[in-house]
């Protein structure tokens, strides 16, 4: 069940690797997020939509996982589950499932006529000569069980899945490296022809030895991009540097570190193949703002910006052309950075590959689309000025205060805002729902229930660098921050942030709890939730919600479980997922998604149960709250 509820947000193609690491132990336990849909050991079934992945060629599985992670293959649940996992972990998953060999189910009873099945058989084994389309078997093997290392089997799969994938190839929703032969083949065939082929394939029993054929057993009729991999070798980190650090000057290396600490790439990268080129939509309550191009492109990026131009933007929130910048760009925090550090950052950005990508215009409602009116907002909510150390505190504390409140811009998510989007500074880091995203960012102060009061400085430091500790594991927007930013912090800086956060006085979130439920509704909901928890969740999280340290977090006293806004808990039950692969935790455990298995009422019941039992005392959850989040990622 909730295999890792944790702090939601702290701030806001060539070949397989030739020498993969040894198989990771306990993979069956780590990939629970996969088997919830694909079945135990990846066996799936003849019914439904989800494909069998057990026994598929390792290279094929690896390619598809990479494609889902990088977005070239689209499926909302899959994209979210593997989003922050490294190449190496995806390879380990592929290795694990490729070696599984559970029995195949009997084929589902077909509704196709004998004539349709015969036509499908001819297409599968002979192709259509008049359309110059080869037989399916010529690439996928005469046994139709696949060809190592990159070609999947076609039998033992549900017809719904086969139809869906062929439809995606037709509509270019699924693509391969050029030449994209699958797209060319399915475009040449009619929907009726494709339907007969899938009817035939889904009706065939799997042979006793369904092992994929070796690559040299057949000659491919086409040189297809589908037989090449999509992952670059030796890029096992989820967040590679766009420029190798060893070619940078000392100043540029300092700038690269600052870019990491501010997670600049997180907002300023829409396409992973175009790092820092901007174009990512930043959703606000007032409309969408698009991040700018930070590469040294002269027309659309920073190519013609001087150090003074850049400092004015970072320190004063004013662009090169004199426009006020929208505070979705957190210059309200970056103003605390010194001139020397801002110059370092620009020096690094100027070394990036120049990418010609124009930034879309903001799509804001009136009057928020009137930049001159930002003068009023700035007068109310922006105080310009570099960080001033507190002389009564240690150098370590001051370093932590600077990182948290400056480059890290933690307040952007963890501090509540007013109706105009201004931060309520008297409630700094006391926890808040992130506008539009609807994830709750818990308090980062020393509150014993809603904050970090029960965490030691070592706990905080471990969490920031690895995404996991004895109390929690990260999900949601926080995963991006740890994957792309905080895991790269030095041990000294991580300790400094932990020291500062641990010193903050306790302050509970002021956000009102979600709508309460009457006793008449709560009682049956709690009973239903207890049954679901016992049968589904307790194995990982414990009968008393005690969890398993560094694997599955405790639910008792978990700040996300008892948050005023139950969105984090609801979304984790719905969508599942993995914490990010980090240097400290390269192979995190996964949380299964339950959006298909459990109804809205079931999810409301189990979330209500964990919020009101196991030592917790938060409000209940109505099914309508689950329904609102069912489509969210």
Q: What is the pLDDT of residues 449-469, one digit of tens each?
A: 999 999 999 999 999 999 999
Pairwise pLDDT comparison (245 vs 219), residue with the higher score: 245
CA angle 339, 340, 343 (to 5 degrees): 85
pTM flag (> 0.85): yes
Distance, in Å, from the CA atom of 533 to the CA atom of 239, rounded to the nearest integer, reads 36
Nearest Cα residue to 327 out of 389, 267, 398: 267
Which one has a higher pLDDT value, 19 or 575? 575
Strands (E), 246-382: 281-284, 287-290, 363-364
For 30-232, which CATH superfamily applies? Cytochrome c-like domain (1.10.760.10)
Question: Which residue has better confidence, 39 or 404?
Answer: 404
**Three-state secondary-structure class, residue 233:** coil
Q: In the chain, where does the domain assigned CATH 1.10.760.10 lie?
A: 30-232, 519-629
pLDDT band, residue 22 (cuts 50/70/90): low
Q: Which two tokens stand for residue 266?
A: 């997180």
Per-residue confidence (pLDDT) for residue 231, from 0 to 100? 53
For 335-370, write each residue's pLDDT tens digit. 999 999 999 999 999 999 999 999 999 999 999 999
Distance CA(78)–CA(582), nearest Å, equals 20
- Pick among 1.10.3470.10, 3.40.50.720, 1.10.760.10, 1.20.1270.360: CATH of 519-629: 1.10.760.10
User: Would you say 146 and 64 are in contact if contact means Cβ atoms under 8 Å apart?
Assistant: no
Which has the higher per-residue pLDDT, 292 or 1?
Answer: 292
Longest dimension (CA), the chain: 87
CB 492 within 8 A of CB 428: no
Q: What average pLDDT does the structure give for the chain?
A: 90
| Tokens of residue 218, six digits | 């057949």
Q: Which pLDDT value is given to residue 46?
A: 66
For β-strands 577-578 and 590-591, DSSP reports them as antiparallel
Confidence check: pLDDT of 448 > 70: yes
Residue among 522, 428, 585, 621 nearest 6 (CA): 585
Q: What are phi and psi of 441, to 5 degrees?
A: -95, 110
């Amino acid at each position: 069940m909730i295999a890792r509820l944790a702090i939601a947000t702290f701030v806001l193609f060539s070949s397989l690797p030739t020498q993969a690491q040894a198989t990771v132990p306990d993979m069956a336990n780590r990939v629970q997020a996969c088997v919830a849909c694909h079945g135990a050991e990846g066996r799936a079934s003849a019914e439904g939509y989800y494909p069998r992945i057990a026994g598929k060629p390792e290279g094929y599985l690896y390619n598809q996982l990479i494609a889902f992670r990088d977005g070239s293959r689209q499926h909302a649940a899959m994209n979210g589950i593997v989003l922050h996992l490294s190449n190496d972990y995806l390879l380990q998953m592929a290795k694990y499932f490729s070696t599984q060999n559970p029995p195949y189910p009997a084929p589902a009873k077909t509704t196709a006529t004998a004539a349709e099945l015969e036509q499908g058989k001819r297409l599968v084994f002979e192709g259509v000569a008049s359309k110059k389309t080869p037989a399916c078997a010529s690439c996928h093997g005469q046994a139709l069980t696949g060809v190592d290392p990159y070609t999947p089997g076609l039998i033992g799969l549900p017809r719904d899945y086969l139809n869906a994938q062929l439809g995606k190839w037709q509509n270019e929703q699924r693509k391969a490296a050029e030449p994209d032969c699958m797209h060319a083949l399915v475009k040449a065939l009619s929907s009726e022809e494709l339907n007969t082929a899938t009817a035939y394939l889904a009706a065939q029993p799997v042979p006793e030895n369904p092992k994929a054929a070796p690559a040299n057993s057949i000659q491919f009729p086409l040189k297809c991009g589908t037989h090449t991999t999509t992952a670059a070798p030796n890029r096992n980190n989820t967040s590679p540097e766009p420029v190798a650090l060893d070619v940078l000057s000392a100043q540029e290396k300092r700038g690269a570190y600052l870019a990491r600490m501010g997670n600049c790439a997180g907002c300023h990268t829409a396409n992973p193949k175009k790092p820092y080129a901007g174009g990512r939509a930043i959703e606000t309550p007032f409309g969408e703002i698009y991040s700018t191009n930070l590469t040294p492109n002269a027309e659309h990026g920073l190519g013609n910006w001087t150090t003074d131009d850049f400092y004015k933007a970072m320190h004063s929130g004013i662009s090169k052309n004199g426009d006020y910048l929208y505070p979705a760009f957190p210059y309200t925090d970056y103003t605390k950075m010194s001139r020397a550090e801002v110059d370092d950052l620009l020096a690094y950005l100027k070394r990036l590959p120049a990418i010609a990508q124009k930034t879309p215009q903001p799509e804001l409602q009136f009057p928020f689309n009137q930049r001159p009116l930002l003068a009023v907002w700035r007068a109310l909510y922006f105080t310009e000025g570099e960080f001033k150390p507190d002389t009564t505190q240690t150098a370590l504390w001051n370093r932590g205060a600077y990182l948290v409140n400056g480059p890290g811009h933690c307040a952007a998510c963890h501090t509540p805002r007013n109706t105009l989007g201004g931060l309520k500074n008297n409630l700094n880091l006391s926890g808040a729902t992130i506008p539009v995203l609807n994830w709750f960012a818990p308090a980062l102060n020393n509150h014993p229930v809603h904050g970090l009061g029960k965490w030691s400085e070592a706990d905080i430091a471990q969490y920031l660098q690895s995404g996991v500790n004895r109390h929690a594991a990260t999900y949601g927007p926080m995963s991006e921050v740890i994957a792309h930013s905080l895991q790269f912090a030095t041990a000294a800086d991580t300790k400094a942030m932990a020291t500062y956060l641990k010193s903050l006085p306790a302050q509970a979130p002021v956000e009102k709890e979600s709508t309460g439920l009457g006793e008449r509704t709560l009682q049956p909901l709690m009973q239903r939730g207890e049954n679901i928890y016992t049968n589904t969740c307790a194995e990982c999280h414990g009968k008393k919600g005690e969890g398993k340290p560094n694997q599955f977090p405790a639910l008792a006293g978990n700040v996300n479980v008892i948050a005023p806004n139950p969105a984090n808990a609801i979304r984790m039950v719905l969508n599942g997922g993995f914490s990010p692969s980090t240097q400290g935790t390269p192979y995190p455990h996964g949380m299964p998604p339950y959006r298909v298995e459990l109804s809205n009422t079931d999810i409301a019941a189990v979330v209500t149960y964990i919020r009101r039992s196991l030592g917790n005392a938060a409000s209940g959850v109505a099914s309508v709250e689950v329904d609102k989040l069912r489509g969210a990622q």
